[in-house]
Amino acid sequence: MDIEEPHLSSPATTSTSTSSLADETGINTAASTLTILTRMTVLLTLVAISLWANHEASMNIDISIANSAVGSRAGRLFDLNFVSNGRANRIVHHASRFVEQALYPEEAYPRKPISHITLHLASNDLDSVTSVSPGAGSGDYTIHLSPSLMSEADGDGALASEVHRAVARLRLWDAQQAAPSQLLEAVADYLAVAAGFPPSSNKTCNASSYWSAEFLQYCEVRRNGFIARLNRGMRERWSESTVDDALGSPVRQVYTAFHAPETGYVMESVNSTSSSAEVRQAM
């Protein structure tokens, strides 16, 4: 009589099942990890695109160069030192980026639309070293340069400094031309000093004026972000309360404190090292 052998589970079968389960678990884990990495990559890519877009925003300006002093010594120096090598364009771009970062630190600070800037060397000396005028189209502006800039001992630095101030004036809101011109000049001077340039010798924005770069920097130190808030406040209207609101206290009281003997306030560049180096490289 034949005796059937009992049917025993094959060890190989059990091993295979266990191995399959482990493989499936590993696949799921790998898939989960891949999903997380994919999401992180997408997120980082979006952040990078956003940062790059903000960076490129300040570069998205058409720049034209005009020389009305052709044939003169100033005209030749301008062409040789700033036009032929692209320095003029780079100086405008560097100034625009620096000013934008100071005036529009977040999306809550509306940008003044500027699409085209013409850098124009005048044929004759102007009443001031530089002047700014709107162009024919919306967002179109011209920065007029006096030929006397080319006779400065440090012509390169002088031009870069004045262009920086002019770009700041372009970028500033002016409460529909109601803001005091002395205030706008002082803010432009403050931004130039913050970028590492020396204070302006223009009498409308020196320390003896109510509005001066020194006083504005004192206000900025007293309450960080003051300049950006002040500019935002000048978008639609102007009143002394515009300054009070940006400062968070009555400006007259702060001005009195600024001139107190114990203050001993000395204006300093807030970003002189990086900005000066960047401008020098651009030049």
Of 197 and 10, the structure prediction assigns the larger pLDDT to 197
What pLDDT digit, counting tens, does each position of 157-174 carry?
A: 899 999 999 999 999 999
User: Of 202, 186, 203, 182, which is closest to residue 194 (Cα–Cα)?
Assistant: 186
Which pLDDT tens digit goes with each residue over 203-259?
555 544 578 999 999 999 999 999 999 999 999 889 889 999 999 999 999 999 988
What letter represents residue 214's amino acid?
A: E
pLDDT for residue 268 is more than 80: no
Map 25-81 to HEC letters. HHHHHHHHHHHHHHHHHHHHHHHHHHHHHHHHHHHCCEEEEEECCCCCHHHHHHHHH
- Sequence letter at residue 60: N
Contact 246, 233 (CB under 8 A): yes
3-state secondary structure 217-236: HHHHHHCCCHHHHHHHHCCC
Give the Cα separation of 50 and 41 in Å (integer). Answer: 14
pTM over 0.85: no
Q: Is the dihedral of CA 207, 212, 213, 215 positive or negative?
A: positive
Phi (first) and psi of residue 131, to 5 degrees: -145, 160
Where residue 48 falls among pLDDT bands split at 50, 70, 90?
low
Picking from 152, 148, 178, the residue whose alpha carbon sits closest to that of residue 69 is: 148
